């Protein structure tokens, strides 16, 4: 059954060849694209009863892929900024997180899903507490998600003792094994919060289950110093010695890496979630993006959590990404628009672990967004990649489709009651903050 037809706009396929189809049409059945081409060349008109989305005056492109976030941290957005990292964490974020509950995470994630759908993000990779609730919220919102309960040496506000953390992880991986949109991964927090034995065990679990292993890695020079002082090895060496440098690895941040370490990441087939805005805001440093891409590392783009960004707008993240690397390299040709757009789509799909994601073509997953380019700040249009990266923002997305289902049409959310989500999130935030929000 043909489920959905999107027609009339310019299709930016984001395939390797850079194919752009003016006045295009997309047909979708059972969550996959069955036709992607010029409207006039479609073999048949949309069948009766087929849902239609009008994309005239728009840019049709793959839904954006958020490679690393902590969705429920929407509840902590703006609670504390502009502070030294240690003070920010110990005096603000951690105390608030001790008050987290499954309910808070559910509503915080729903709020994040609302924001992501409005910003054209259709997939997100999430590491946080009470992740069963994250999965539930992502499922209810209709988004694609890779979820993982964060595990570390100390007792968790969510699962308590470490043993339970592994149990929750196993349960999530098994429970979502055949879900069309949700998958789970093994998510140890970081090298400085997880013992070698925890990490080895996490690595074995990923190996046994075929799940990804997602971890914060080489985020700052301070992390490197800490790992070196504790284990006598730099982060990547330590990780490798524990058997974790392999195809299952997704490294979030990957800032403090030498060119040799980048080459080894590439050879291992490991992936990276690059989070430029978080790295800027927390003053973590600048990840070697161009070196990673040249070495063939699969790099996706992540917003990180809302406490360190402070938004879930991947279009804005692309802009920051392109500009940061130019500024950092003092080279205006660094991180060109088309490359950066690929981080959030084609390359982001590979980093997310799916080769059928992030490109519009027959057979690919039907995660699609439409950007309204009939607006002053997107007029005239010489080059769609330029507008996408340097001028478009989340608010320009008008339709969002995930797995063939319309999650937003004409800026109206279809899978949730936004007023309810915002009210519940405010309630939870007031509780976490210990005062009215």
Q: How far is the CB of 232 from its own copies (least distance, A)?
A: 25
Whether the Cβ atoms of residue 396 and residue 372 lie closer than 8 Å to each other: yes
Instruction: Output 267 or 377, the one with its CB closest to its own copies.
Output: 377
57 contacts its own copies (rule: CB under 8 A): no
Q: Which residues 6+ apart lie within 8 Å of 384 measured at CB?
A: 10, 12, 20, 59
Nearest to its own copies of 7, 428 (CB atom): 428
Report the nearest approach of its own copies to the CB of residue 89 (Å). 11
104, two tokens: 């808070």
Distances (CA, A) of 352 to 59, 182, 248, 252, 349: 23, 12, 11, 12, 5
Residue 250: which residues within 8 A CB-CB, separation 6 or more? 67, 125, 185, 212, 213, 214, 215, 270, 271, 272, 273, 351, 353
Contact with its own copies (CB under 8 A): which of 163, 210, 382, 434?
382
The Cα diameter of the chain in Å comes to 67
The CA distance from 89 to 192, in Å, is 14
Q: Which of residues 345-374 bind its own copies (CB under 8 A)?
A: 374
Smallest distance, Å, CB 338 to its own copies? 9
- Output the six-digit token pair for 99: 């008050």
Sheet with 397-402, strands from edge to edge, namely: 20-21, 10-12, 58-62, 368-372, 397-402, 405-409, 412-413
Query: Residue 148: helix, strand or coil by DSSP?
Result: strand
**431 is an interface residue for its own copies by CB under 8 A:** no
x/- contact string, 66-105, with its own copies (CB under 8 A)? --------xx-xxx-xxxxx--x-----------------
Nearest-approach distance from CB 383 to its own copies, in angstroms: 5
Number of residues lying near its own copies (CB under 8 A): 73
Closest CB to its own copies among 82 and 163? 82
Quote the least distance from Cβ 29 to its own copies, whole Å. Answer: 31
Query: Which is nearer to its own copies, 272 or 337 (by Cβ)?
Result: 337
310 cis-preceded (ω within 30 degrees of 0): yes
Q: Which stretch binds its own copies (CB under 8 A): 115-123, 185-193, 239-247, 360-368?
A: 115-123
Q: Does 425 bind its own copies (CB under 8 A)?
A: yes
Closest distance to its own copies from the beta carbon of 98 (Å): 18
Nearer to its own copies, 169 or 220 (CB): 220
22 binds its own copies (CB under 8 A): no
Q: Name the residue nearer to its own copies (CB basis): 295 or 422.
A: 422
Binding mask 251-280 for its own copies (x = CB under 8 A): --------------------------x-xx
Q: How many C-alpha atoms does 116 have within 13 Å on its Cβ side?
A: 38
- Residues 149-168 touching its own copies, rule: CB under 8 A, are none
CB 183 within 8 A of CB 404: no
Specify the pairing of strand 368-372 against strand 58-62.
Answer: antiparallel
Is residue 109 a contact residue for its own copies (CB under 8 A)?
no
Q: Looking at 46, 157, 207, 285, which residue binds its own copies (CB under 8 A)?
A: 285
Sheet holding 32-38, edge to edge: 32-38, 24-29, 4-7, 51-54
Give 204 or 221: the residue with its C-beta nearer to its own copies. Answer: 221
In the region spanning residues 231 to 250, those forming contacts with its own copies, defined by CB under 8 A, are none
Chosen residue from 204, 259, 379, 417 binding its own copies by CB under 8 A: 379
Q: Is 351 helix (H, G, I), strand (E, B) or coil?
A: helix
> Which residue stretch of 16-24, 126-134, 259-267, 417-425 sits at the interface with its own copies (rule: CB under 8 A)?
417-425
* Residue with Cβ nearer its own copies (118 or 264): 118
Binding mask 309-338 for its own copies (x = CB under 8 A): xxxxx--x--xx-xxx-xxxxxxxxxxxx-
> What 3-state class would DSSP assign to 89?
helix
The answer to whether residue 294 forms part of the interface with its own copies (CB under 8 A) is no
Binding of residue 208 to its own copies (CB under 8 A): no
Least distance (Å) from its own copies to the CB of residue 37?
Answer: 22
- Applying CB under 8 A, among 32, 179, 233, 281 the residue interacting with its own copies is 281
Angle at 179 between CA 25 and CA 424, to 5 degrees: 90
Name 137's Cβ contacts closer than 8 Å, sequence gap at least 6.
71, 105, 106, 107, 109, 110, 113
Give the burial class of 57: count Cβ atoms within 10 A of its Cβ; 0-12 exposed, 13-18 middle, 19 or more buried: middle
Residue 429 interacts with its own copies (CB under 8 A): yes or no? yes
Q: Which residues of 19-54 are buried (b: 16+ CB within 10 A; e: fewer)?
A: bbbeebbbbbeebbbbbbbebeebeeeeeeeebebb
């Amino acid at each position: 059954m043909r489920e959905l037809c999107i027609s009339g706009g310019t299709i930016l396929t984001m395939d390797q060849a850079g194919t752009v189809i003016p006045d295009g049409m997309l047909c979708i059945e059972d969550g996959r694209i069955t036709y992607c081409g010029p409207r006039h060349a479609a073999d048949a008109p949309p069948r009766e009863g087929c849902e239609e989305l009008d994309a005239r005056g728009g840019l049709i492109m793959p839904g954006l892929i958020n490679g690393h976030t902590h969705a429920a941290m929407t509840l902590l957005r703006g609670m504390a900024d502009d502070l030294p990292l240690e003070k920010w964490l110990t005096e603000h974020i951690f105390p608030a997180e001790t008050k987290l509950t499954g309910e808070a995470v559910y509503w915080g994630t729903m709020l994040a899903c609302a924001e992501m759908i409005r910003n054209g993000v259709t997939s997100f990779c999430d590491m946080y507490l009470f992740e069963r609730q994250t999965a539930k919220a992502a499922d209810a919102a209709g988004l694609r998600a890779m979820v993982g309960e964060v595990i570390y040496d100390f007792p968790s506000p969510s699962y308590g003792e470490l043993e339970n953390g592994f149990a929750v992880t196993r349960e999530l991986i098994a429970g979502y094994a055949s879900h069309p949109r949700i998958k789970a991964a093994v998510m140890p927090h970081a090298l400085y919060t997880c013992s070698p034995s925890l990490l080895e065990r996490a690595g074995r679990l990923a190996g046994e289950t075929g799940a990804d292993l997602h971890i914060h890695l080489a985020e700052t020079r301070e992390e490197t110093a800490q790992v070196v002082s504790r284990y006598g090895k730099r982060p990547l060496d330590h990780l490798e010695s524990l058997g974790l440098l392999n195809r299952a690895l997704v490294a979030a941040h990957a800032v403090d890496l030498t060119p040799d370490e980048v080459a080894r990441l590439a050879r291992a087939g490991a992936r990276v979630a690059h989070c430029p805005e978080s790295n800027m805001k927390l003053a973590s440093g600048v990840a070697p993006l161009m070196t990673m891409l040249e070495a063939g590392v699969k790099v996706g783009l992540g917003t990180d959590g809302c406490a360190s960004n402070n938004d879930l707008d991947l279009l804005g993240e692309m802009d920051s990404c392109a500009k940061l690397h130019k500024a950092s390299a003092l080279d205006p040709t660094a991180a060109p628009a088309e490359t950066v757009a690929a981080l959030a789509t084609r390359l982001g799909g590979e980093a997310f672990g799916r080769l059928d994601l992030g490109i519009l073509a027959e057979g690919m997953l039907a995660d699609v967004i439409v950007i309204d380019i009939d607006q002053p700040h997107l007029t005239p249009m010489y080059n769609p990649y330029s507008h996408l990266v340097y001028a478009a923002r989340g608010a320009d997305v008008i339709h969002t489709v995930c797995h063939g289902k319309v999650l937003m049409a004409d800026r109206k959310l279809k899978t949730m009651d936004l007023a309810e989500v915002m009210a519940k999130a405010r309630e939870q935030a007031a509780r976490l903050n210990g005062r009215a929000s």
